[in-house]
Amino acid sequence: DGYRNARIHRFSVDGNLINSWGEPGNGGPGQFQLPHSLLIAPDGKVYVCDRANRRIQIFSAEGDYFSMWTGMGGPNNLVIDSNGVFYLAEQEADGEGPMVSIRDGDGSIMARWETRHAHGLWVDSSGDIYLGLTTSKSVDKWVRKG
């Protein structure tokens, strides 16, 4: 719900509202400044990229809070691969440029590097990373080695 209500809405396949949660804020669980994107993992957990608060909050599909990942630039987009590894496109923060980070299931950083500003991100079955770049209107591809 992004720039307005700072809420997450869940709908049925036929478009009926099932539930909503969240409120504007920068404090505790369920408070969002800018829920920019979300990921529903295979286990059903909902990962909310709260970009302006520079964190990812994790919930059940019903809105029950589980945990929070911090220590990142503003998260633009998060994806998960078939091995349960997370890939995150981060905005610049604290004097660092835009980053891509690879994280384990607990949110711990496995790898992180500076890149051009990525608004979107995807990982293919070979582990290659694709970054959607807004300022240059292009796509960067990072090829996995090894």
Domain spans, the chain: 34-142
Q: What is the CA radius of gyration of the chain?
A: 15
120-142: pLDDT as tens digits: 999 999 999 999 988 888 898 99
Query: What DSSP state is assigned to residue 125?
Result: T
- Topology of 34-142 in CATH? Neuraminidase (2.120.10)
- 134/116 Cα distance (integer angstroms): 10
17-26: pLDDT as tens digits: 999 999 999 9
Mean pLDDT of 84-102: 91
With 60 as the cut, is the pLDDT of residue 2 above it? no
Average pLDDT, the chain: 92
- 3-class DSSP state of 58: strand
- 88/99 Cα distance (integer angstroms): 8
Q: What is the pLDDT of residue 92?
A: 87
Mean pLDDT of 21-47: 94
